[in-house]
Structure 1
C-alpha cells in the first residue's frame, strides 16, 4: 500500500489527511473508508493502525484531522465545535468521492469515540453512504456528563463559562486538558483515561501532540445526542461497544442501537481505550473487516 499526505477544503479552512491506496488497485474503482478520531484526537493516535489493516484488505482510506487540530488549519487552535466537525465529515466524504480509483457509491464512514457519534450523524444525513462503523461511540451527552463527578463538572462548567464570555469580548481562548487524573479539571477523568489516552500516543513525537481543548466546548457536549440519529441510518451499521466503557456509557448506546434498522452490534469485555491496542484491537479490527467484506466487498 501507499500513504500520501494530502489536503482538501472544508468551509473556509484546510483539512490535512492521509490517503491510503491498496496495492494492486490500478485501473480499479475501490471502496474507500473515511476515518476520523474522537474528542481532541488526531490521526497519529492509532488511526494509522486501522487504516493499514483496511488498506491491506483492499480498501482505500482517507484519514483526516478536524479543523483546529493536528496538521489541519483553523484558528484558534484546539477549538472543538460540533457543527464544524460535522461539516468536516461532509467535506471529507465529498472529497473522497472525487478521488481517482474510488467508487463514489461505496464510501464507508468510520468514527471512534466522539467521532463515532459523528459517523452516525453523517450516515443518517447522507443516504448515499454505503456503510458506517462507530467504535465505542459517544451517543448521549447527558449520560457521558454523569460519568464526571459533580464537583469536577461544576469546576469545568465555570471555566467553560469564563471562556465563552471571554470569546464574546474578544479575549484569547481558555483551554482545559482533554484528560486528567480523577478529581482534576479535565474533560475525561475516569481512572483509565490518562493511561488509555497516553497509550494511543505514538512513541515518536507523541509528546508534541496537544491534548487540551478550548473550554467552551463543555457547554455543547451535554446537549449533543447523536445516538438519537441511529434510527435514521439505513446503511449497514457496525457498532463496536466496550462493555466497561467509562467515557461513553455502553448501556445508553445499546438502547439507541435497538432502534437501528440495519445494525450489527459487537460487545467487547473491554474499556473505552482498550479496543485500540493489543488483543482487543485484534478482535475488534477482525470483526470490522468481516463486516466490510460482507457489506462493502472490494471485488
Structure 2
C-alpha cells in the first residue's frame, strides 16, 4: 500500500513591489526536486484560514506547496493596512512565481497555481498570463464582479456609497482608509452579506488569527469591474474549476459559462456552499479531486511502500 509523504513546513518571505509577502513552504521529505503549487486566498483572507490544510495534503502527495498572504494583510508587509488592490495582489502572485522559480530545491518546470474565491479569479488571470505553468486550480472562483454585485443586491450596494466616498476623500488627503466589512449579516453593508458569509468566514479563523474583517472601501468599484472569468479562454494549460452549485457569493451559472471556454478546462461541481469547501467532508472530497488532477499534470514522485 502506498503511504503519504512526510513533509516539513518553513516560514518564508519574498519581495513584492515595495514590500514583502509572508508565506509557508511545504517540502515533501526525501523528494528531490518536487513539483510545486502556489496557493492564494480570497477577499481579505490570510493563509492561516485553511490554506494550510490544502497545502499539507498536497505535500503528502509529493507536491511542494507555497501558501502566501497578500501584501497589506496578516503578517505580510505593506501600508496602509487592509488595502485590497487587485493590481497589487496580481503582482504578489507574480512575485510568488518568481520566488519559486529561484529556489533550487523544487522543479521550476512543474509549477501550478491554486486559488480560492477571489483568489480563484486571480488564479485564472495568472494562468492566462503565464503559459509556462503546468496546471491551475480555481476553487469556488470569483469570476464576474457584476454578477457578484447583483448577488449582493442593489440596496446593500447603495448603502456602501457613503463609506466609499469617505475613503476616496481619505485617499486624496493621505489619511487612514475608511473601512467596510468584508462579511456581515444579511442586509448589512459589506462586500459579502449572504446568510452564510459571516459565519463562514468566522469558521475559518483559528485562534490567534491575523484576519481582520474589514478592507479599505476604495476597492468597491474595482471589484465590480473585475471579470477574471473572461481570461479563461486564454488559459493554455489544464485548469480545474471546482464549483459550488449553491454558491451565494460567486454565482455558479456565470462561473460555469466562463469555465466552459477554457480550452483544457475540467469542471467539478459540488452540492455544498461557498464556505463549506474548506472544512469537513466537502473539503475531503475537494482535496482528493484536486490531488488527482494535480498528480496527473505534475507527476510527483510516489511515496515509498512499506
- TM class, shorter-length: over 0.9
2:27 to 13, 21, 28: 21
Q: Please provide the CA RMSD for this pair.
A: 0.9
Return the TM-score normalized by structure 2.
0.95
Secondary structure, counterpart of 1:15 in structure 2: strand
Per the alignment, residue 181 of structure 1 pairs with 185
Distance 2:74 2:238 in 1: 30
Instruction: Give, in whole Å, the separation in 1 of the partners of 2:176 and 2:75.
Output: 21
Cα distance in 2 for partners of 1:157, 1:117 equals: 25
Residues in 2 aligned to 1:95 and 1:49: alpha-carbon distance in whole angstroms: 22
Q: Does 1:10 align with 2:12?
A: no
What does residue 288 of structure 2 align with? 286
Matches within 5 A, 1:1-299: 1-25=7-31, 28-202=32-206, 204-206=207-209, 208-299=210-301
Offset at residue 165 of structure 1 (A): 2.2
**Please, which runs of 5 or more residues in structure 2 have no aligned partner?**
1-6, 302-306
* CA distance in 1 between partners of 2:55 and 2:174 (Å): 40
Please report how far the alpha carbon of residue 23 of structure 1 lies from its aligned counterpart in structure 2 after TM superposition: 1.4
Separation (CA, whole Å) in 1 of partners of 2:161 and 2:294: 41
SS state of the match for residue 79, structure 2?
Answer: coil
Deviates more, 1:169-178 or 1:139-148: 169-178
Q: Are the aligned partners of 1:157 and 1:218 in contact in 2 as well (CA < 8 Å)?
A: no
Structure 1 position 209, deviation (Å): 2.4
Aligned length, in residue pairs: 295
Q: Give, in whole Å, the separation in 2 of the partners of 1:49 and 1:22.
A: 15
- Secondary structure (helix, strand or coil) at the match of 1:35 reads strand
Deviation of 1:194 (Å)? 1.1
Mapped partners of 1:148, 1:137: distance in 2: 16
Q: Secondary structure at the match of 1:104?
A: coil
Deviation at 1:158, TM superposition (A): 2.7
- Other structure's SS at 1:103 match: coil
Report runs of 4+ in structure 1 exceeding 2 Å deviation: none
Structure 1 unpaired stretches of 5+: none
Give the Cα–Cα distance (whole angstroms) in 2 for the partners of residues 237 and 149 of structure 1. Answer: 31
CA contact (8 A) 1:157 1:219 kept: no
* CA–CA distance in structure 1, aligned partners of residues 298 and 162 of structure 2: 46
Alignment partners' CA distance in 1, 2:245 and 2:162: 32
Q: Secondary structure at the match of 1:219?
A: helix
Counterparts of 1:149 and 1:60 in 2: how far apart (Å)? 41
Deviation at 1:154, TM superposition (A): 0.4
TM-score by length of 1: 0.97
